[in-house]
Structure 1
Amino acid sequence: MAVPVVVFAGFVGLALVGMFREDPESLPSAREGQTAPPVVLDEFTGKPSFDDATLRDGTVKLVNYWASWCAPCRAEHPTLEALSAEGVPIYGVNYKDQQDNAEAFLNELGDPYTAIGRDEKGRMAIDWGLYGVPETYVIDGEGKIVLRFAGPLTSSVVEKTLRPAMEKAAGQ
């Protein structure tokens, strides 16, 4: 009889913790505060690529996972374009996509990426703990993940979540 009561109390405890989190909509990330996993990308023909050393070049940057087949990626694209126009370096990881489709997406909407690579099989995404696209990481100058944001970036997300994380990354 005691086991069901203990199990029920455990569920109630977990529910209470979930209800009082700072942002109940955010997904937790085990990678925050850790060095970014290795960058292992296929070439995106005609575009500059990036590697581990790029993530440790002393500057704050974003790593953005996206795909041409992803409707939320299309919705967030103007926000990425605006950040890029401000001079924010954004490194793109094209996730499980056909290169022709990805090129057409960028030709239509613009290319906000400083450099880009393809994660054709999704292996790098697994190592980074990707839940799905779009997903954006704030990386400090030493290559540490300061923030992982799952979902499309909007102007509100940029102001309330992304910019504070970028400021934190710059201050470390």
Structure 2
Amino acid sequence: MSRLKLFLPLMVFVVLAIFLLNGLERDPNAMPSALIDRPVPVFSLPVLGDETRSVTEVLFQGEPALLNVWATWCVACRIEHPFLNKLADQGIRIIGLNYKDDNAAARKWLMDKGDPYALSVIDARGRMGLNLGVFGAPETYVVDRTGTIRYKHIGVVDERVWRDKLLPIWQEIQ
């Protein structure tokens, strides 16, 4: 029994080391979404720049799209925005969800920095974001032609994220 007591700290250390090493291999941005393989939540929201017009989840029927959650107060969105413009120039359909933002500031942002969005809906109170499970901006969802969410990415979309994560799914749903 006394020999077992000598090896007990070593065994505890080995078990803890295994758990810690396993944690290091996980992607800290990988946040599972309960909405994967489910339809975009039901909504009716005004369109930025044409606030008298509202759109619904039917917007996602017919052709695939990226749903990008953005805001002018979001520092990471400033980093991501030029790449979204590049994707839009390549014909990628992007729908914006302007999240808890000032409409005038958002319109100015798009005018100054370019507008990659086929359209951007206004989520002033964050209700749509809540229904999507948004943690913050930016977040991007890949939505297929039936309006089904296929993937969720939290954080900046850049060349590497597009190539390694989003593009393979995009090609799959075309």
Shorter-normalised TM-score: what interval?
Answer: 0.7 to 0.9
Aligned counterpart, 1:45: 49
Aligned counterpart, 2:7: none
In structure 1, C-alpha distance between the alignment counterparts of 2:124 and 2:149, rounded to whole Å? 23
Inter-CA distance 164–111: structure 2 relative to 1 (3 Å threshold) = same
In structure 2, C-alpha distance between the alignment counterparts of 1:102 and 1:161, rounded to whole Å? 28
Between 1:74-83 and 1:41-50, the stretch displaced more is 41-50
> What is the CA deviation profile of residues 94-123 of structure 1, one whole-angstrom value per residue up to 9, with x for unaligned ones?
000011111111111100000111000000
Q: CA deviation at 1:16?
A: 7.0
| RMSD over aligned Cα atoms | 2.2
| TM-score, normalization by structure 2 | 0.82
Aligned counterpart, 2:60: 55
Q: Percent identity?
A: 35
In structure 1, C-alpha distance between the alignment counterparts of 2:33 and 2:124, rounded to whole Å? 23
Aligned counterpart, 2:149: 145
Inter-CA distance 68–139: structure 2 relative to 1 (3 Å threshold) = same
Q: CA deviation at 1:169?
A: 2.1
In structure 1, C-alpha distance between the alignment counterparts of 2:157 and 2:43, rounded to whole Å? 22
Structure (1/2) with the larger strand percentage = 2
Unaligned runs of 5+ in 1: 1-7
Read off the aligned partner of 2:75 and give its amino acid letter: A
Aligned counterpart, 1:93: 97
For residue 39 of structure 2, the aligned residue among 35, 40, 64 is 35
Aligned counterpart, 1:70: 74
Inter-CA distance 30–17: structure 2 relative to 1 (3 Å threshold) = farther
Q: CA deviation at 1:25?
A: 3.4
Read off the aligned partner of 1:55 and give its amino acid letter: F
| Secondary structure, aligned partner of 1:147 | strand
In structure 2, C-alpha distance between the alignment counterparts of 1:137 and 1:126, rounded to whole Å? 14
Inter-CA distance 50–63: structure 2 relative to 1 (3 Å threshold) = farther
Within 5 Å, give how 1:110-125 maps onto structure 2: 110-125=114-129
| TM-score, normalization by structure 1 | 0.83
Unaligned runs of 5+ in 2: 1-11
Read off the aligned partner of 1:147 and give its amino acid letter: Y
Inter-CA distance 15–29: structure 2 relative to 1 (3 Å threshold) = farther
| Secondary structure, aligned partner of 2:50 | coil
Max Rg structure: 2
Aligned counterpart, 1:4: none
